[in-house]
Every structure is written in structure tokens, then in C-alpha cells.
Structure 1
Amino acid sequence: MNQSSIIGVIGIGAMGMGIAKNLHKRGYTLAVRDIRPEAQQEAASLGMQECDSSAALGRLADVAIVVVVNAQQIDEVLFGEQGLAQLGAKTKTVLLCSTIAPEDSIRIAQRLAERGIAAIDAPISGGPAKAEAGTMSMMIAGETSLLATLEPLLSAMAEKRFVLGAVHGDAAKAKLVNNLLAGINLVAGAEALALGMKIGLDANQIFDIIRASSGNSWVFEDRMARALRDDYAPRAFAHILTKDVTLATGMAHAAGYATPLGDAALRKYRETLERGWSELDDAAVLKTYLERG
């Protein structure tokens, strides 16, 4: 894999656009596809090739990076009427970077293999800024020789890469374990910050105290900083983290493992969605605490 290869990105939302911009700056030729015209126009203005369908992207790109919301969307962009996996597709490798259930990762990889296309289980973490800087983390499962071939691309995408082996679904499992903890940490941080505010302490001072003390976490610092600015523009949609924690707790329960903290966090995220804030940043969980009455 070298920079003369064409890299496709399907789903140029916050993370996907960050990935595309990073690879473009590093000299890769990019083809992109998104259902939102404004996203495609932004990519085109930077010199990337717009595609009017995933099938069109599949005819151009050697490798396709899929960064859509869920498994249903992956099925559509890969196997739908205008999906990538059409007869004669140039794409021979697909990186599955969305957070999905491990059984979906396995199923999708099997369907791609039937069409002569290899899949890499490659969920990502770190947020849009790290995606654009190439400093995000990536959990990886895939065939060893294929990973070796893709190493230049993977290292350009993610500073921290964790190879879990060749078994599809293992990277998806690892990502859900991480997101379970992130979801719990965010709810816990919002609960503590809201408590400080409710008992009359200065919100920004409490935030600074937590940042400098034992209660801090990356997700608390990242999300509560913008919540305190009343900035809920979505970098990570509330409905997406709700989906992720739902998948993580479901995976745990299927394994006979109880997740009482995860279940409690999930209830708070669902309450946030019920209040009409699903399209806001997941930092909106603080609003849920503050507006409980």
C-alpha cells in the first residue's frame, strides 16, 4: 500500500472527514461519498474526488474506509442497490471503522469475502481533532499479511494501533469495552459537575479542580469543557454514544456479565434522547442533570 493508491472514505461526517483531511494532507488521493451534499462539497473544495454513490467509489478506490453510524448503514453502502460491493469493483479491501456489534463485523466480513473483498475490523476512537491529526487510536483485527500490506495507511490514520489478532469481531469487542467505560465516565462526570453547580459552587472552578485532581478523565475534560460554554454542536452525537452503550451492555448481557454502572449510564443517555437532544453533542447529558427539576 503506497500513496499512489486511491483511498475511498464512505461517511465523511466528523470522524470520516477528519480521516479524509488527514490522508489528503499526507499525499494520498482521496475519493469520498456521503449522503450530505454539503459534506461532499467541502471535500471537493479541498481537492478530493466526489462520488455520487458508494458503487462509484468502489470503481475508483483500492481501499475503502467505512465510517458510517451503524451496521444497517454499512449494509446499505456495501450491499445496497448502489453499494460498493458490485461486480467489477476495484476495491479489494474495506476497513470497517464504525462502532458495531462483533457479530455484525463477522457477518459483514463474510459477505464481503463472498465477493472477493477483504475486510479489516478496525473501529476508531479519539474524536474528530485526533482523526484529522492522525493521532487517534484504532483497534484492529484482520489477516496478518494484509495488515502488513496496509501498515503505511494504518499508521497514517492512527498513531496508536492495537492489533487483536486475525479473528473478525475481536476489535469490535474491544471498542465496545472502551466505549462502555467512556459512557460511564461521561455520565459520572456530568453528575459530579451538576452536583457542584446545584450546591452553589462555581462551575468553571469545579471543572478546573476535577481536571487537576483524581476525578478527571479524558472524556470528562473534553465534553464538559464545551458544555460549560453551552456549546452542544455535535462532534459526537448523543444518539451515537447511546447506541454504543446499548451495544456494549447487550454484548455483556449476552456473555452473562452484569453491567450495573453501564445500565445506569444507558438510562441517563436514553433520558437525554427523550428530552429531544439526540442530535446534540453527547455532552448534553449535563443538560439532562441540570434540568431534572
Structure 2
Amino acid sequence: MDKNVGVIGLGAMGAGMAASLRRAGLRVHVFDVRQPAVADFARDGGVGCASPAEMAAHCDVIVSVVVDARQTESVLFGENGCAAAMKAGSVFVMCSTVDPKWSAGIEERLLAKGVHYLDAPISGGAARAAKGEITMMTAGRPQAYAAAGGVLDAMAAKVYRLGDRAGAGSKVKVINQLLAGVHIAAAAEAMALGLREGVDAAALYEVITHSAGNSWMFENRMPHVLAADYTPLSAVDIFVKDLGLVLDLARSSKFPLPLSSTAHQMFMQASSAGFGREDDSAVIKIFPGIELPGKAQ
């Protein structure tokens, strides 16, 4: 593919996505507020950019993998943002978890500038991102897909087309996050009960992951608890935000979500206790009267 592609945000997901694009033979330009991350990627065979605006001057496709709507607004319309510099007919691929109505509004703002937009939240984790095997939940006009060319397939094992207007992809991602957040909270609750009852934590993990009570989140997150490693791959505060989006979406149609509400309160409690920037599995720290595993000596 003879394309210049930009990736904004070199966190756990963005770095892997950028590497996947590079493996596919694309000319990959990157920007991150952490300049060492940009320098590392450029040293391995990419192009570092000093700002989103600089990237936009060179790239036909820009993939944004920042934390939330506020950061996306900043890289688009803030100082040295890319929106004003993007070429007519280029496409902005928005991969954050955001309010679906907000995403639809960004589509309209960019279309007014002659720029295409794809509502394209992602899932799969850092390991799959590094392999080019994430899932993308996309929605947008046919012209936006055409402008993106094969870029989406270079990053993802599954690219779902969920609608011809922005917003549908974000709705599906919000629903995915409902399950993800509830499952992490339930996994933490189950492990906490096991610890309270004196069950060997490693044995409990082994049994559950080979039994009907298992979930992807239990299997993926509880090893962080067993290793006492709360280095954030996805932080507690991410689920404060994402479950908040879940509840906002449901509130607009007065739809009850009792499990989501409880899980949101659990993550809120963990954040308020000072664990907001730790791995989301740190929600287990809200449970009283348990002794969590310590780091191996």
C-alpha cells in the first residue's frame, strides 16, 4: 500500500497498531506527547512528528488512539491540531471510547472541512494490537472507508462495519465496555471472596479458568492480582469513564442498568481510594478484610 499513515497516541494499543501498520509496508508517521516514545518508533523505522498538524501535512489517513473525547478534540482542533491541516479527501479514524452523539458531531465538523471520518473504537488489548489482530467497531460513510483503503485491515483481525454514519460503532463499543467493566468487577469480587475464605488464590484461578464460571476478563486480569502487579494496561479510571458513558447512554432513554451501576460505583470507590491510575484489576483493593498476594521475592 502506497500510503502515508499517521498514528496519534503511542500507548499500549497505539504503539502496537503503529507497528502493525509499519509491518504492512506503510509509511507510518507518529505523534505522542511523550517524545521518547516518538523517538523510539522513529529509530525503528518510522517518522516522528512534532505535532498533529505536522503529521496532517503528510498523511492521507490519521488514526487517533488517545484516551477520550477531550484528548481527541485537542489533537483535532487544539493548538497545532490536525483538522485545519488535513488535506481534502483524507480521513480521520477515531479509535477512542466516546459518547456516540459526540462522535456523530465530530463527523459533521470534519465533513464541513472536506475531511472524511470513521467512528472506529477498538478492542483486544495490547498483545493483539502488537500482532495486528484487534477488533474494530466502525461506522462511517462509504467515502471514508474508501479513503482508509487497507489501513484498517492492516491493524485488525476483525473490522465490523456497523453503519453508514458515525455513532453506531461507538454504541457497540459502549455496550462492549458494559460487559468488560462488569466482568472485571465480578472477577475481582470472586477472587476477593476466595481470599476471604482462605482459598489458595492460584488454585482458585486454575479451577475457574477451566470451569463454567470463567470469563475472558477473569482469565486476563486476575494474573495481575496474583502477581501483585498493578502496572496499568487499562486503568481503573478508564472504567470510571467508560461505565459512565454506558450509564449516560442508557439514561438518555431511561433504560435501567443495575449491574453497570454497581460496577461503576466499585471503580469510583477504587479511584477515590487512590487507585485510579493503577491497572483496572486494582478494583479488588476496595474489598475489606482480605490479604492480597504480594510480589514474589
Deviation at 1:145, TM superposition (A): 4.5
SS in 1 for 2:194: helix
Q: CA, structure 1 residues 286+164, in 2 after alignment: closer, same or farther (shift >3 Å)?
A: same
**Contact 2:196 / 2:290 at 8 angstroms: preserved in 1?**
no
Counterpart Cα distance in 2 of 1:55 and 1:106: 22
Paired residues, what number?
291
- How many Å apart are 1:163 and its aligned residue? 1.1
Task: Determine if the alignment matches structure 1 residue 196 to structure 2 residue 181.
Answer: no
Listed as ranges, the gaps of 5+ residues in structure 2 are 292-297
Letter matched to residue 237 of structure 1: A
What's the counterpart of residue 176 of structure 1? 174
TM-superposed deviation, 1:167? 2.0
Q: Which residue of 1 aligns with 2:15?
A: 17
Instruction: Report 1:248-263 matches (<5 A).
Output: 248-263=246-261
Counterpart for residue 229 of structure 1:
227
Mapped to 1, the partners of 2:168 and 2:62 lie a distance apart of 20
TM-score, with length taken from structure 2: 0.94
2 CA distance for matches of 1:91 and 1:128?
31
Are the counterparts in 2 of residues 77 and 83 from structure 1 also a CA contact under 8 Å?
Answer: yes
Equivalent residue, structure 2, for 1:152: 150
> Residue in 2 aligned with 1:32?
30
Distance 1:250 1:161 in 2: 26
Shift of 1:49: 0.8
Secondary structure, aligned partner of 2:84: coil
Q: Distance in 1 between matches of 2:33 and 2:55?
A: 13
Shift in CA distance, 90/149, structure 1 to aligned 2, threshold 3 Å: closer
Kindly state the Cα deviation for residue 90 of structure 1 after the two structures are TM-superposed: 7.0
CA RMSD of aligned residues (A): 1.6
**Amino acid aligned to 2:76:** L
CA distance in 2, matches of 1:91, 1:144: 12
Cα gap change, 1:147/1:91 in structure 2, threshold over 3 Å: closer, same or farther? closer
The one of 26, 47, 69 equivalent to 1:49 is 47
State the one-letter code of the partner of 1:268. M
Alignment correspondent of 2:95: 97
Fraction of identical pairs, as percent: 38
Residue 198 of structure 2: SS of its match in structure 1?
coil
Structure 1 residues 89 and 80, CA gap change in structure 2 (3 angstroms): farther
Aligned partner letter, 1:42: D
Distance, in Å, in 1 between the alignment partners of 2:46 and 2:163 is: 33
TM, length-normalised to structure 1 = 0.95
What do residues 216-266 of structure 1 show as CA deviations (whole Å, max 9, x unaligned)? 111111111122111111111221122111101110111110111000000
Query: Is the contact made by 1:63 and 1:91 (CA closer than 8 Å) also made in structure 2?
Result: no
